[in-house]
Structure 1
Amino acid sequence: MRVRPGAYLPADSSVNAVARARCEHLAFGKLVIGGFAGLNYHGIPYWSEVFPVIVHSPNSIGFVSSDIIRLCRSKVAYEFGKDPVFPKLAVASPAVCVIDALIQLKQGRITWWVPPIEGFEPWEVRAVQLIDAARRKCKVSWNQLADASTQRFSKTSLLKLAKQSVSGADSPQETSLRLIAGDLAPNLQLQKAVYDTPRSEIPFTFIDLTWKGLKVAVYYDGEDHYNRERRNKDFAIRKKLEDRGWQVITVTAPELAFPEQLRRRIQKAVWKAQM
């Protein structure tokens, strides 16, 4: 299967962003992989199918296609060894990759479904999901993002997005859930550890979203929660929490499409816990 001039993959290959990044590396060599493909190398898997692949090149003019965006930039922080198959493939720093991706999101070049959330444009929800993931998976700091954004992305826009971001979101869907309901009470807590006893060393659960002093546990259940073994485990955790006076709310992907209804549902539990 021909994926670009001079680069081929087996016919049954998955032509995701990483595969295209490898093809660019093989075809041109001295390139630095950025954007979502770069973030995939840094351990953020959520958008590995996102196109186009963004590359930084010191030796060529800018180029844009449906598959590749080549940026003419001579100074980019990068590292080697991220690709086990091609250890000499250069990947931009996490902060540079985030700014690459934010530019594409703001321009509307790259999109994915997000729920309609009051006070946010769709691209801003995607951007907060992205920054949350980079902070949790790559420990990207505000200073690193600010440095990488110089002469590329508005620091005013970046600061607005960063103020909405947290480091504890475990998935893009959990970011959406937080933006929908996180302000229903003060002292929001994410991934709160709950233990069997004060002496227990290992928590029996991490609550996705709760508030300090309120026994309201909100979980986002993705597809990995649908198998029987996981459902049985979730039921046991729910029962244990309810026996301790917690209200447990489970949110699934279809419910995120109706944020106002979801917010009201969680609001009722918060009010009850505050009584």
Structure 2
Amino acid sequence: MKYQGDRIDELIAGGLGRLPAQDGMQLNTAPFPLPVPLGPARLVPVSARHGITPDQARPRGLVAHDAASHPRTMQYRADARTRIIAHLREHPTWIASHFSAAALLGITDFADGADAFVLNRNKLHLTDDLRVPSQHQVRSCLSTWSIGLAEHTLLVTPPMLTLAHCLRAVFGEEHRWHTPPGLAVDAPMVRAVQIIDRFRREFHLTPEHLREGLRGLVNGRTVERLVRLSDDGADSPPETLIRLIARDCAPEYQWQSQVPVYTDGTVGEPGVDDTSRTLLTVLDLADVAARRYLYYDGDHHLLRERRDQDSTITAHLTSWSWTGLRITAGMVADPASLASHIRALASAPARAA
């Protein structure tokens, strides 16, 4: 079946989302190290002919964490973009795909622990060599984008095809990352929802965009289930997990993502910042009518200045009759315990306004 995602890809290239991505764009290399040719210097190999210096490698603890969930326990010490650039420099006709393509397009979640993925003339081969990519056979009618990197042109699958490949990889167990046990949704579906959430958030994809762009690439019933479970407001993979847990354990609440609250106590439209008013905070997940909220506090919330700010926000919300939870990574790791806290929150008496 002919690829159906071209129109959505064109919308993305035209600025549909908050993440700039278009055919012919230049790659921003500031966030990651570029591979250099192997030579007499001591380098960490990332491909047959390229490597990085040891100080540019990913932290060993993070590498080991990712490898524990990888289907073949591969320990990738280099950034996903670094590795795929090395392979494409050595083989200019190869096409970056799956999580490698997602990383080049700007969605790096889940990619650093994944194989480098390429499309070429070879049949499917899942690598067991850190210097060799996993390979899928290219189709003659394939749509491709190009990305500029100095004098190099890197070939990459466009956004909707990349999304389809990523979904198929998690359902086919070609790539895995840790998901906490005890969720109501099975692990491959959880990962698929996390991927969908990231693409929806960054490219402002609607359910209609997903249905059109994934047609013929992902089973229609699977797409419909993903549409029901996904949300375009999740700012991080842990927020996706929290939403899935909250919807399952407190389904009577109308949870909405990215709910703005202003300094005068008024609540705005989810996902919209009214610049004519002064913003106090954006609630990660909230039921406005019930005055219940959930926050995910990542590592940056450990900073003293941020803790002071968070305490001030909580004080304001409490004075306006809101009741909520601040959730950390450790709490997300135990879904059963987190669900009990959310149920207790949901059943607590409403505060007087």
Q: Give the TM-score of the pair, scaled to structure 2.
A: 0.70
Tell me, yes or no, if the aligned pair for 2:234 and 2:257 is still in contact at 8 Å. Answer: yes
The range that moved more, 204-213 or 118-127, is 118-127
Change (3 A) 1:84 1:140: farther
User: Could you tell me how far apart the structure 1 residues matched to 2:137 and 2:239 are?
Assistant: 36
Counting matched residue pairs gives 272
Tell me, yes or no, if the aligned pair for 2:89 and 2:152 is still in contact at 8 Å. Answer: no
- Describe the SS at the equivalent of 1:88: strand
Mind listing any 5+ residue stretches in structure 2 that lack a counterpart?
Answer: 1-42, 58-77, 267-273
Identity of aligned residues (%): 24
Q: 2:137 aligns with which of 60, 68, 72?
A: 72
One-letter code aligned to 1:125: V
Partner of 2:197: 132
Change (3 A) 1:176 1:31: same
Answer yes or no: is 1:20 the counterpart of 2:83.
yes
Partner of 1:31: 94
One-letter code aligned to 1:259: P
User: Could you tell me how far apart the structure 2 residues matched to 1:96 and 1:62 are?
Assistant: 17
User: Could you tell me how far apart the structure 2 residues matched to 1:258 and 1:167 are?
Assistant: 24
Q: Which has the higher contact order (CA 8 A, sep 6+)?
A: 2
Tell me, yes or no, if the aligned pair for 1:42 and 1:138 is still in contact at 8 Å. Answer: no
One-letter code aligned to 2:256: Q
User: Could you tell me how far apart the structure 1 residues matched to 2:207 and 2:291 are?
Assistant: 32
Partner of 1:3: 46
User: Could you tell me how far apart the structure 2 residues matched to 1:103 and 1:86 are?
Assistant: 33
User: Could you tell me how far apart the structure 2 residues matched to 1:205 and 1:105 are?
Assistant: 34
Tell me, yes or no, if the aligned pair for 2:46 and 2:52 is still in contact at 8 Å. Answer: no
User: Could you tell me how far apart the structure 2 residues matched to 1:78 and 1:273 are?
Assistant: 55
- Describe the SS at the equivalent of 1:241: helix
Q: 1:49 aligns with which of 88, 99, 112?
A: 112
Tell me, yes or no, if the aligned pair for 1:80 and 1:91 is still in contact at 8 Å. Answer: yes
Partner of 2:125: 63
Instruction: State the Cα RMSD in Å.
Output: 2.4
Tell me, yes or no, if the aligned pair for 2:205 and 2:232 is still in contact at 8 Å. Answer: no
Tell me, yes or no, if the aligned pair for 2:124 and 2:136 is still in contact at 8 Å. Answer: yes
What's the offset of the Cα at 1:62? 3.8
Mind listing any 5+ residue stretches in structure 1 that lack a counterpart?
Answer: none
The range that moved more, 124-133 or 136-145, is 136-145
Q: Could you report, residue by residue, the CA deviation over 1:171-228 in whole angstroms, capped at 9, with x for unpaired residues?
A: 1000000000135133221110000125952311000111130111210111111111
One-letter code aligned to 2:261: V
Tell me, yes or no, if the aligned pair for 2:98 and 2:165 is still in contact at 8 Å. Answer: yes
Q: Give the TM-score of the pair, scaled to structure 1.
A: 0.88
The range that moved more, 63-72 or 256-265, is 63-72
Tell me, yes or no, if the aligned pair for 2:323 and 2:345 is still in contact at 8 Å. Answer: yes
One-letter code aligned to 1:127: A
Bigger proportion of residues as strand: 1
Bigger proportion of residues as helix: 1
